[in-house]
Amino acid sequence: MISDKHISLILPCLNEEKGLNKILKRLPKCVNEVIIIDGNSADKSVQIARKYKAKVIIEKKRGYGLALRTGFEIASNSIIATLDADATYPMDEIEPMFNFLKKNNVDFLVACRFPLINRSSMAVKNFFGNLLFSALISLFFNMQVTDVCSGMWLMKKETWDKIKNKIYDQKWFFSNEIKIEALLTKNTKYEEYWIELKERMGETKAGNPWISGLRILGHIIIKRLTTYWRK
């Protein structure tokens, strides 16, 4: 069972001063460590993070997965949480998710955004892309997932230690890959927890959704082949 009462919150950040300010104002009591992995922001993100006493790591080599990996390695608590710094994910749900994880002894808990309550919180292309990737991963890996692209989850640090050497992507596919490995790892309890997605603050950093989607599709196929030959 989990004995820790606190969480390390990891936030990848690139020019997210609006969202970051909103997030750090509303930290729940269960979060006693905030680590901002900043991709050399040009706005006031770093100043805001330091104002709220967060640890700031400047990562000049950009990459969503690289930022998270850096944060996971230096987190001091046995439970890690992550969400996007654009304030789309509800801070108020961290503590209920933490309590759910402890009560049910879950190793990896994903904040599931579907079904969407507010349709304007997600672009139509992203909506169908997320559902498609979740369906493909469920089919290819013989598992059931609803939101494999969610950027908010809680996990035990010991779970990260089990799977980190099997995760190779340093960009957006990292979010899918970490969930695939958590699901494939024996004696790892994986659950989803519904949350309400909010409208983002600031500009998206994901780039062209069609190009990003094709890259993720290619990564899914390659991941399936590598896990097949790994058996």
At 209, the pLDDT band (50, 70, 90 cuts) reads: low
Q: Residue 53: its pLDDT value, please?
A: 95
Q: Which CATH number does the domain housing residue 164 bear? A: 3.90.550.10
Give domain status of residue 105, yes or no. Answer: yes
pLDDT beyond 80 at 175: yes
Q: What is the mean pLDDT of residues 118-133?
A: 90
Give domain status of residue 230, yes or no. Answer: no
Q: Please give the residue range of the domain that contains residue 51.
A: 7-124+150-205
Percent of the chain residues past pLDDT 70, beyond the cut:
92
Give domain status of residue 134, yes or no. Answer: no
pTM (two decimals): 0.91
H or E stretch covering 11: strand 7-13
Give domain status of residue 110, yes or no. Answer: yes
Residue 176: strand, helix, or coil: helix
Encode pLDDT of 129-160 as tens digits: 999 999 999 999 999 999 999 999 999 999 99
Give domain status of residue 33, yes or no. Answer: yes
14: left (phi over 0), alpha (psi -120 to 50) or beta: beta
Give domain status of residue 51, yes or no. Answer: yes
Q: Residue 5: its pLDDT value, please?
A: 82
Q: What is the mean pLDDT of residues 56-83?
A: 95
Give domain status of residue 216, yes or no. Answer: no
Give domain status of residue 63, yes or no. Answer: yes
The position carrying tokens 């992507």 is 169
pLDDT beyond 80 at 207: no
User: Do the beta carbons of residue 9 and residue 35 sit within 8 Å?
Assistant: yes
Neighbours of 73 (CB within 10 A): 12
Which DSSP letter does residue 142 get?
T
Structural domains of the chain, count: 1
The position carrying tokens 């349709």 is 119
Give the residue among 44, 37, 33, 42 at the shortest CA–CA distance from 59.
Answer: 37
At 1, the pLDDT band (50, 70, 90 cuts) reads: very low
